[in-house]
Chain A
Amino acid sequence: MTQQTRRILQTISFLGLVVSVLPAFLVFGGVVSRQTHAHLMVAGMLMWFGTAIFWIRRDHLGQ
């Protein structure tokens, strides 16, 4: 995997985390509905899992 690909994947992953958590604060502020929040959380989840699996490495600590 090239450095650039890795950076793109990481960016999408972190955006996925933002999409997962930000709508909750928007629900709290009365900006979006709980239904929208739930949909966006699924979208954030797909963004995270679709990309993070490729760049997160496994460490070995004797487990």
Chain B
Amino acid sequence: MSAGERSTLVERLDALYEYDREPVAADKLYGWRTFIAMFSSEHIAGTEFVLGTLLVLHGVTAFDVFVGLAVGNLLAVLSWAFMCAPVAVRERLTIYWQIRKIAGPYLTVVYSGLFALILCLLAGSMVNVSTTAVSLTVDIPSPNYAAGETVPSLPWILVAVGVGSVIAVLAVLGFERLAHFAKVVAPWMPFVFLAGAVASLPSLGVTSVGNFWAVANEKIWTGVPQEGQIPYGFWHCVGLAWLCNIAQHMGMGDVTIFRYARKWQIGFASAFGMFIGHYMAWICSGVMCAAFVHAQRAAGVADPNPTPGNIAMLGAGYAGIVCVVLAGWTTANPTLYRAGLAFQVATPNWRRWAVTLMAGVIMVVTACIPAVLAYLDRIVAYYGLFFMPLGAFIFIDFWLFPRLGLMRNYAERKGLLVSWPAAIGWFGSFGICFLLYAKDQYAGFAWLNDRLPRFLANYRADLFLQVLPAWLIAVTLYTLCCLVQQKLSSPSDVGGDLA
């Protein structure tokens, strides 16, 4: 690639985000109410039907769910309030421009491209969720991954293609009107989760509030994983709740949103999203899952298939089906739209509709892979761990660098195309955390245990428990490399202009 082409790529990306290059003006700021409404509506999606179900299938206990999710969600709220929002209201810039200042334009392009890919994957999982509901209404069984059905039937694929095509076409047409519809759907969805769970309790044997806890431990969160599932415990619940939005809070993705906040304390508004969407909804979908499995086993079904469509139908009837379809649809659409936006950078001569359709094709293909839903918790964890380091750099660059006598936004001030400390910190942190996890999970990496120091070989890292290690490794690598980078440059380059 020539220098001219490279600069064009960067210029295109800059042009795409040009409209939000300037910090938000004081008269465009919003208060608590707006952010409470936004978080309450944005963090309840079709995937909540999946994640609550996965916790049941992985055999957590009732204590793990109620206390572990509370702790994890609290950590997420604190991360938003003390890490993301304070930087956002001081800088009032989008994540794109913040990354560009510290990591340079090339790494920002890499970030955008990879982020687009993961957005397609997530949109695919949402289409998958919607398809389980649509297929149920036309009597087409969804693939049961746990029972070994790794490829869906042709009719199911056709339904998924239909659902995905509608979403892709709507994303191509623009998502303003759909975004409004999503906002209308959002307040209703938590009530469907709650109603579905409460109405399912009697079928599990809960006859009063007094015997709920006993039944919850015996029949819902039993502490015994389903066959073929890895056992999860308290810390998995903490980790999943903390990790699943880590790209937004510790990864600083939501500085783009919080730059509109009047004050940093508004970061606590995230509690409404977490405790409605990732606490109440996960618990409710767990109850509905257990009720479905219980009913199916009682009917003599050996391998029940608790898809979002199946559990919602049992808990809330056709309103539940509509909820699953809309929950998947309304969240897949903006996700796909944003993926198209990010992909557009890498496809210079393509029209916008063509890029969005390409993202739509990836989304539909993903939707037809049952393993995506079966491993959604792991996918979310990988996604969080991979994108979190860049947010950690923004945090450290803002708070720590002036105290260390280091220059902030070094890449921007020096006109660097790539910040090598950011590259080492980003890929190094993820690589180390992945290898520490992979050495005990994948046979191909088991040899690492023979070469690592004993304390690391004995360290049993789970993906969900990597938040703190990943953050610490990322900021340590980044800070050390920045020290080297800035000390190697001439003193006149660094001193005198640190803030």
- Digit string of A4-24 for contact with B (CB within 8 Å is 1, else 0)? 000000000000110011011
B442: shortest Cβ distance to chain A, in Å? 37
- Digit string of A31-63 for contact with B (CB within 8 Å is 1, else 0)? 000100111011011001100110011110111
Question: A17 touching B202 by the CB < 8 A rule?
Answer: no
Q: What are 13 pairs between A and B in contact, CB < 8 Å?
A: A17-B187, A20-B191, A34-B199, A38-B316, A45-B319, A49-B188, A52-B188, A56-B183, A56-B184, A57-B180, A62-B94, A63-B256, A63-B334
Q: Considering the complex, give the chain A residue whose CB is closest to the CB of B314.
A: A34
Instruction: Select the stretch in B30-38, B273-281, B448-456 that faces chain A.
Output: B30-38
Question: A52 touching B184 by the CB < 8 A rule?
Answer: yes
- Digit string of B24-65 for contact with A (CB within 8 Å is 1, else 0)? 100000100010011000000000000000000000000000
Expressed in whole angstroms, the Cα–Cα distance for A56 and B181 within the complex equals 9
Across the A-B interface, give the 6 residue pairs with the lowest CB-CB distance, nearest first. A38-B317, A41-B319, A24-B195, A24-B198, A24-B199, A27-B199
Question: B317 touching A42 by the CB < 8 A rule?
Answer: yes
Given A41-B317, A45-B188, A45-B319, A27 contacting B34 (CB threshold 8 A): no
Question: B179 touching A58 by the CB < 8 A rule?
Answer: yes
Q: Using Cβ atoms and an 8 Å threshold, which residues of chain A touch B191?
A: 17, 20-21, 44
Report which A residues bind B (CB closer than 8 A).
16-17, 20-21, 23-25, 27-28, 30, 34, 37-39, 41-42, 44-45, 48-49, 52-53, 56-59, 61-63
The bracket for how many chain B residues form the interface is 35 or more
Q: Considering the complex, give the chain B residue whose CB is closest to the CB of A20.
A: B191
Q: Which of B34, B184, B187, B257 contacts A63 (CB 8 A)?
A: B257
Q: Using Cβ atoms and an 8 Å threshold, which residues of chain A touch B38?
A: 59, 61
Question: A45 touching B195 by the CB < 8 A rule?
Answer: no
Q: Using Cβ atoms and an 8 Å threshold, which residues of chain A touch B462?
A: none
How many A-B pairs with Cβ below 8 Å? Answer: 94
Q: Using Cβ atoms and an 8 Å threshold, which residues of chain A touch B334?
A: 63
Expressed in whole angstroms, the Cα–Cα distance for A38 and B195 within the complex equals 10
B84: shortest Cβ distance to chain A, in Å? 14
Q: Using Cβ atoms and an 8 Å threshold, which residues of chain B touch A25?
A: 198
Expressed in whole angstroms, the Cα–Cα distance for A50 and B185 within the complex equals 11
Question: A21 touching B256 by the CB < 8 A rule?
Answer: no
B98: shortest Cβ distance to chain A, in Å? 13
Question: B194 touching A44 by the CB < 8 A rule?
Answer: no
